[in-house]
Amino acid sequence: AQSVTQPDIHITVSEGASLELRCNYSYGATPYLFWYVQSPGQGLQLLLKYFSGDTLVQGIKGFEAEFKRSQSSFNLRKPSVHWSDAAEYFCAVGWPGGFKTIFGAGTRLFVKA
C-alpha cells in the first residue's frame, strides 16, 4: 500500500540554523510529491511540489526540496530558519489521474532564539 513517512514528530532548531525535514514514500512508481506548511489554527499552504524534471525544487519562503529516487525520499530544506517558520510541515504524495492525496503525519518545527 502507498504510504508517506515523516520520521520526526518534532524538531527544534535555533533561529538562523539550517533545517532539513525528512520524508520517505512507498509507491511503485514516482509519484507527485508535495510539501505543505500549517501554522497553528490555520489551513495548509503549499510550499512546493515535484512532478518531474530537475530533482531540486524551489518553493516559497526560501524552502527547497530534493527528490532522490534511489532513496524514495523528498526532504525539505532551508538554509537559515526564521522564528516565523515555526509550524507543522506535511509531506504528501499524489499521482496522475487524480484520486486522493496521501499525507504524512507531519513534523512540528520549533524555533528557539
53 makes contact with other proteins (CB under 8 A): no
36 makes contact with other proteins (CB under 8 A): yes
Q: Using CB under 8 A, which of 69, 70, 100, 113 touches other proteins?
A: 100
Distance of CA 40 to the CA centre of its chain: 17
Q: Which stretch binds other proteins (CB under 8 A): 16-24, 40-48, 62-70, 75-83?
A: 40-48
Q: Which letter does DSSP use for residue 52 in this model?
A: S
Size of the site for other proteins (CB under 8 A): 24
Closer residue to other proteins, CB minimum distance, 2 or 80:
2
